C-alpha cells in the first residue's frame, strides 16, 4: 500500500509540473497574441511579434498534450469526470487553440484580411488563457459531484467568484509574460511600447495576485500551515521585485525570467491548496477525487514512470535546443 501511494504522489507532482510547464511555455505566446493589437503598430512590427513565437508555439503545446495523457493514464477517473463535466468549457478552449493556429496561417496568406485574422488570434488566445485559469480554479475550489464522483453541475456552475479570480489572475500573468517576451525579442519603438505595457501590467498582475493569495488563505485555512504556500508567496514577491528593477534598468532579458518566477508562485499556491485532491467535491468532501481513490494500478504507474524517465529528458532537451536555436531578437523579415 505504501509503495503505490509513493507512485500516486509522484504522478501528482509530475502532472503538476507538466501543466505548470505548459502555462509557462505557452503563456507568453498567448499573452503576446492578446497584446498584438495594442503594442504592435505597423504591419512589420506585428510580423516581428508573430515571428518571435512562430518557431516555438506549437512545440509548447506538447506539454499540454502530455499532461492530459498523463492524467488519463495515471488518474483515469479524475480525467473522465473533468473532461465530461467541463465539456463545453473544454470545447471553447479547443476552438480558441484552433483559431490561434488557423489565424496565424491565414494572416500570412490572406493579407487583405490581416486585421480579421489578427483579431481572431487575439480573441482565441484570450479565451484559452482565461478559461484555463477558470478550469484550474474549479478543480481547486471544488465542483458538485454525485455519489459516483461524477460532475453534477452545469456550465454556469463553473462561473463562480473564486474560479473567475483564478481566470483573471492567470490572464494577467500571461499578459505580463507576453509583454516581457516582446521586450526580449524586439527593438526600437516596438520594444519601447512593450516596456510601457509591462510596466502597467506589473502593477495589475501584482494587485490581482495578492487578492488571489488572500482568497486562497481565506478559503482554505489549512494552507496557512503549508510551507509550500509561503514559498509561493515568496516566489511572487521576488519575481515582482526583480521585474520592477529590471524594467527600470531596461534590461531586456531579465523581465521575462522575473515574470515567469512570479507565475510559478501562483502555481505553487494552487498546488499547496489542492494536494492530495484532483477534483474537490464542493457539496460532499468524501466524494472528492483524490490521488488515492482515482488512480490506476501500481503496475501501470510503475511502467509509466519508466517511460517518463526515458521520455521526459528528451522533451526537456528538445525544448532547450529549440529555444537556444532561435534565441536573440526577432527580425522584421522573419515572417511566419
- What band does 99 get if pLDDT is binned at 50, 70 and 90? confident
The verdict on residue 29 lying in a domain is: yes
Average pLDDT score over residue span 126-139: 92
The pLDDT assigned to 332 comes to: 60
51 near 328, Cβ under 8 Å? no
Closest to 65 (Cα-Cα) out of 136, 15, 137: 15
Q: CB 238: neighbour CB atoms within 10 A?
A: 14
The pLDDT assigned to 248 comes to: 94
The verdict on residue 59 lying in a domain is: yes
This prediction's pTM: 0.92
The verdict on residue 336 lying in a domain is: no
How far apart are alpha carbons 22 and 59 in whole angstroms?
Answer: 10
The verdict on residue 335 lying in a domain is: no
Residue 265 reports pLDDT greater than 90: yes
Q: What is the pLDDT of residues 285-312, one digit of tens each?
A: 889 999 999 999 999 999 999 998 898 8
The verdict on residue 331 lying in a domain is: no
Q: Which residues contact 94 (CB under 8 A, 6 or more apart)?
A: none
The verdict on residue 332 lying in a domain is: no
Q: Which residues contact 33 (CB under 8 A, 6 or more apart)?
A: 53, 100, 121, 122, 124, 125, 178
Helix (H) or strand (E) holding 255: helix 254-274
Beta-strand relationship, 289-290 and 277-279: antiparallel
Beta bridge partners of 222: none
Is residue 75 left, alpha or beta, with left meaning phi > 0 and alpha meaning psi from -120 to 50? beta
- What domain range includes position 37? 2-325
Residue 164 reports pLDDT greater than 70: yes
How far apart are alpha carbons 28 and 50 in whole angstroms?
Answer: 12
Please state the domain count of the chain. 1
Least confident of 13-22, 49-58, 131-140, 180-189: 49-58
Residue with more model confidence, 65 or 212: 212
The verdict on residue 334 lying in a domain is: no
Average pLDDT score over residue span 232-236: 96
In order of 132, 182, 197, 198, the CA distances from 211 in angstroms are 19, 27, 21, 20
The verdict on residue 123 lying in a domain is: yes
How far apart are alpha carbons 47 and 143 in whole angstroms?
Answer: 42
Strands in the chain per DSSP E: 277-279, 289-290
Amino acid at each position: 500500500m505504501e509503495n503505490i501511494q509513493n507512485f500516486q504522489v509522484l504522478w501528482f507532482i509530475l502532472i503538476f509540473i507538466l501543466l505548470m510547464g505548459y502555462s509557462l511555455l505557452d503563456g507568453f505566446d498567448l499573452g503576446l497574441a492578446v497584446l498584438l493589437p495594442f503594442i504592435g503598430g505597423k504591419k512589420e512590427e506585428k510580423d516581428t511579434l508573430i515571428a518571435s513565437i512562430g518557431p516555438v508555439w506549437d512545440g509548447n503545446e506538447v506539454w499540454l498534450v502530455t499532461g492530459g495523457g498523463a492524467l488519463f493514464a495515471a488518474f483515469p477517473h479524475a480525467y473522465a469526470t473533468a473532461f465530461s463535466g467541463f465539456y463545453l468549457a473544454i470545447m471553447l478552449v479547443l476552438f480558441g487553440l484552433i483559431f490561434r493556429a488557423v489565424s496565424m496561417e491565414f494572416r500570412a496568406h490572406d493579407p487583405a484580411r490581416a486585421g480579421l485574422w489578427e483579431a481572431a488570434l487575439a480573441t482565441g488566445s484570450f479565451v484559452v488563457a482565461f478559461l484555463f485559469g477558470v478550469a484550474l480554479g474549479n478543480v481547486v475550489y471544488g465542483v458538485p459531484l454525485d455519489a459516483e464522483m461524477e460532475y453534477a453541475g452545469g456550465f454556469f456552475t463553473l462561473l463562480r467568484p473564486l474560479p473567475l479570480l483564478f481566470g483573471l489572475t492567470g490572464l494577467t500573468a500571461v499578459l505580463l509574460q507576453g509583454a516581457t517576451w516582446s521586450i526580449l525579442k524586439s527593438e526600437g519603438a516596438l520594444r519601447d511600447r512593450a516596456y510601457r505595457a509591462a510596466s502597467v501590467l506589473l502593477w495589475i498582475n501584482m494587485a490581482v495576485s495578492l487578492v488571489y493569495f488572500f482568497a486562497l488563505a481565506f478559503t482554505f485555512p489549512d494552507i496557512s500551515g503549508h510551507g509550500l504556500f509561503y514559498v509561493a508567496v515568496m516566489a511572487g514577491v521576488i519575481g515582482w521585485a526583480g521585474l520592477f528593477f529590471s524594467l527600470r534598468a531596461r534590461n531586456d532579458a531579465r523581465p521575462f525570467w522575473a515574470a515567469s518566477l512570479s507565475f510559478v508562485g501562483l502555481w505553487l499556491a494552487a498546488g499547496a491548496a489542492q494536494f492530495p485532491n484532483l477534483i474537490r467535491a464542493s457539496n460532499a468532501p468524501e466524494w472528492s477525487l483524490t490521488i488515492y481513490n482515482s488512480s490506476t494500478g501500481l503496475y501501470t504507474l510503475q511502467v509509466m514512470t519508466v517511460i517518463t524517465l526515458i521520455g521526459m529528458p528528451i522533451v526537456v532537451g528538445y525544448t532547450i535546443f529549440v529555444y537556444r536555436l532561435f534565441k536573440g531578437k526577432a527580425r522584421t523579415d522573419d515572417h511566419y
